[in-house]
Amino acid sequence: MQPQILTGSRCIISISGQEVAAAFVADWSIDTSATEIETIDMVQPAEIAPDRIRISLGLRVYRTPDNDPVQMLQAPGDTGKEPQAAFVSAPYITVDIKDRNDKTVFSIPKAWLVRRSASMSAGDFLIESWSIKGIGYLGPTS
């Protein structure tokens, strides 16, 4: 089997099962903190215990007016309700980064869109940056 190389131009972002964007930058980190268990009269730790796992994902996507995450109920924001109520009641979303062959490269089954920023210049596309925090993750699937 030939090794496959994934490129940013081939990545499709799916949120809660719906394809929403093509990402040209996707950065994710999985930080696992650990605590050293120390014992009396030992110079080295007796063991290392896992502590917390933090998942974060950063995306830079091309966005069109019809795929706004707030209007699609995928991000907290003003959807006609009181803004505070809309923020508190925002649901978890599922985020999948897939190859064009529909292979999942990275998936967060329980996520929240925590930050959005955008830039646009004359004669250019609207580019949004999304920061996502997650609970758990899944690696590549076939």
Find the CATH number of the domain harbouring 87. Answer: 2.30.110
Q: Tell me the whole-structure pTM to 2 decimals.
A: 0.73
Classify residue 1: in a domain, yes or no.
Answer: no
Tokens of 47: 């063991």
The total number of structural domains that make up the chain:
1
Classify residue 3: in a domain, yes or no.
Answer: no
Q: What mean pLDDT, rounded, does the chain reach? A: 79
pLDDT in tens, 102-142: 788 899 999 988 888 888 888 777 888 889 999 999 887 64
Q: What is the structure's pLDDT at 68? A: 67
Segments forming the whole domain that contains residue 53: 8-135
Would you mind telling me the total number of residues written for the chain in this entry? Answer: 142
Most confident of 13-27, 39-53, 100-114: 39-53
pLDDT in tens, 83-99: 555 556 667 888 898 88
Cβ-Cβ contacts under 8 Å for 95 (sequence gap 6 or more):
13, 14, 15, 57, 107, 108, 111, 132, 134
Classify residue 21: in a domain, yes or no.
Answer: yes
Classify residue 53: in a domain, yes or no.
Answer: yes
Number of H helices, E strands in the chain: 1, 6
Classify residue 141: in a domain, yes or no.
Answer: no
Residue 126 and residue 116: Cα distance in Å, rounded? 13
